[in-house]
Structure 1
Amino acid sequence: MKNIVLGLLAETFIHPGIGRNEGAIDLPVAREAATDYPYIPGSSLKGALRDHARDHGMQGIETCFGEQACAGDLLVSDARLLLLPVRSLSGSYKWVTSTLALERLRRDCERVGQSIAFTTPRAPAEGKVLGKGDGMLYLEERVCSYEGPVPDNLVEDLCRLIRHQPVRQRLAEQLVILNDKDFAWYARYALAVQARNVLDEETKESKNLWYEETLPPDTLFYALLASRTDRDGLNSMRRQLRTNPWLQAGGNETVGQGWLATQIMGESENQGGQGDES
């Protein structure tokens, strides 16, 4: 089976919604049941890839994505959360992750034969972080302290999922690894909740006020794409993403949300459409 690991860096706010909710947030983001981490469902991501392929004139869309009566060649996983931007008094923001998120990345890469150099670190204690710095670190309203550096080769491996060179260059300064419980707290409570409204055209009175949850720009996800047959659907999608790397997924497209910069792990950002890989 042919596989690729696809990095997805948010360029705008992202709303991978699940529909209306009875809680305080009317339109929350999709979350994993066990960890409560936000994610982009594979069905949503596959639909976004199909729209992307159609909009850019890709040949063999039915072979790649399937038709109503039969499945296509391309397999698409959920997009898992890897790095979450969190406000900090130590700079504009920090990219936070956890040992669980890194362990998952390592396992997923091993499963599809993608080489990874870093070793999953031992989880820091609650209220402690691994990162470049010393003393205290302020994240949102919480105070943490540095316990040590990030593992060797981790930044280099994560950069392979990020398209933009300037973003790669600042990752080492902004990356911090949290305890799994601390990361789960930020993944639950550090997301933006935006109020939206529909006004009566004549009276300007509110007709429908609602609140929706979004993931911030610079959030990093990754997903696995695979080919289940020898019909070349994966290589067709690979060539498409090399040539047109920006993808829209999730809701609120008409207000500019949902844009992601894709990066195939192990390929340079300037590789373009040259050649195929197995």
Structure 2
Amino acid sequence: MSTLIWGMLAETAIHTGSGRNLGVVDLPVMREAITDMPVIPGSGLKGAMREQVENEADCNRIFGSEDNAGLIQVSDARLLLLPVRSLTTASRWVTCPMILERVKRDCLRAGQEIKFTVPAKGKAIGSSAGKIFLEEREFEITTSPDFDNLVTVLQKFILHSDTKNRLKESLLVISDDDFAWFCRYGLQVQARNQLGDNKESKNLWYEESLPADSLMYCLLSLRNEADMQTLRTWWQRPYIRVGGNETVGMGWFAIAEVGA
């Protein structure tokens, strides 16, 4: 079995809806049932991949057809870094010990060992010490000797060099509980409106999205290394569109193969 890891950096807002109305948000994003963290189901990601290469000769063999199962295994796309608003800087990327521990396990499942120390729970760690405000919440940031190594590892999940270079100054490791709060209450919510023939409002709704610069990752597995090379060839232009609202430019990810 050949497995590769895709780092997926959101170039635009991403909406993969859950179809459930929760509170004031009419169209929330899909979330993990236990952690409540945003996720893109593997079935949806596989469908988006197939749509992008449906005219390729080996598409039906690798992704399947109506009559036959495909060869590829596509995991859920899991959240790794979430951008949040800051009162002291433009924005910050946040993650937490649970997310970091999980990505280490997922990489081991893919046959890749990534080495970094998961920070202790209950601490907020960044590149420099001091106070910072994220949304309306205040955090006291400390430093760690393991922080630079963590940054180096996470940079492998990002395609663009300039974006990698700003990761160190933007990254914060916060507690699991604080990260869960931002996942629940810190996502982008946009009001959208359907207009009638006379420009009157016919349907106003509120839609939740993952913000641009969110970083996710997924695992792709194939039994044959030659088929994996075919997959790499299809994504030499490393972009994929996932989820809804295609006509308003949403859903684009930039792909980085981790370990390539």
Q: Same fold (TM over 0.5)?
A: yes
Could you tell me whether the CA contact under 8 Å between 2:14 and 2:210 is conserved in 1? Answer: yes
Q: What one-letter code is carried by the residue in structure 1 that aligns with 2:35? A: T
CA contact (8 A) 2:78 2:217 kept: yes
> 1:255 aligned to 2:248?
yes
Q: Following superposition of structure 1 onto structure 2, how do residues 1-278 of structure 1 map, counting pairs within 5 Å?
A: 1-21=1-21, 23-54=23-54, 57-123=55-121, 125=122, 128-149=123-144, 151-202=147-198, 204-227=199-222, 229-230=223-224, 232-241=226-235, 243-267=236-260
**C-alpha separation between the residues in 1 aligned to 2:148 and 2:58?**
42
**What is the alpha-carbon distance in structure 2 between the residues aligned to residue 9 and residue 255 of structure 1?**
19
Name the SS of the counterpart of 1:239 in structure 2: helix
Shift of 1:70: 1.9
In the superposition, the TM-score normalised over structure 2's length comes to 0.96
% of aligned pairs identical? 49
Q: Deviations over 1:141-173 (max 9, x none)?
A: 000101333534111111111000000000000
Taking the aligned partners of 1:131 and 1:113, their CA distance within structure 2 comes to 29
After superposition, the Cα gap between the structure-2 partners of 1:231 and 1:92, relative to the gap in structure 1 and judged at 3 Å, is closer
**2:157/2:256 contact within 8 Å kept:** yes
Listed one character per residue, the Cα deviations across residues 214-250 of structure 1 (whole Å, up to 9, x for unaligned) are 01110000000001x3384332212212x12110001
Q: In structure 2, do the counterparts of structure 1 residues 22 and 110 end up closer, same or farther at CA, with 3 Å as the change threshold?
A: closer
User: In structure 2, what is the Cα distance between the partners aligned to 1:249 and 1:197?
Assistant: 22
Quick check: 1:135–1:146 contact (8 Å CA) kept in 2? yes
| Local SS of the residue matching 1:50 | helix
After TM superposition, give the deviation of residue 119 of structure 1 in Å: 2.0
**Counterpart Cα distance in 2 of 1:185 and 1:231:** 41
Number of corresponding residues: 259
SS of the equivalent of 1:251 reads coil
SS in 1 for 2:202: strand
Give the alignment's TM-score, normalised by structure 1: 0.90
Q: Against the structure 1 CA distance between its residues 70 and 232, is the aligned structure 2 distance closer, same or farther, given a 3 Å change threshold?
A: farther
For residues 59 and 266 of structure 1, the distance between their equivalents in structure 2, rounded to whole angstroms, comes to 28
- Are the aligned partners of 1:120 and 1:151 in contact in 2 as well (CA < 8 Å)? no
In the aligned structure 2, how far is the partner of 1:231 from the partner of 1:63?
A: 14
In structure 2, do the counterparts of structure 1 residues 231 and 116 end up closer, same or farther at CA, with 3 Å as the change threshold? Answer: closer
Offset of residue 24 of structure 1: 1.5
Gaps (5+ residues) in structure 1? 268-278
Alignment partners' CA distance in 1, 2:183 and 2:155: 21
Question: RMSD over aligned Cα, in angstroms?
Answer: 1.4
Once the 2 structures are TM-superposed, how far is the Cα of residue 136 of structure 1 from its aligned partner? 0.7
What CA distance in whole angstroms lies between the structure 1 residues aligned with 2:22 and 2:178?
Answer: 26
Give me the whole-angstrom Cα distance separating, in 2, the residues matched to 1:137 and 1:59: 53
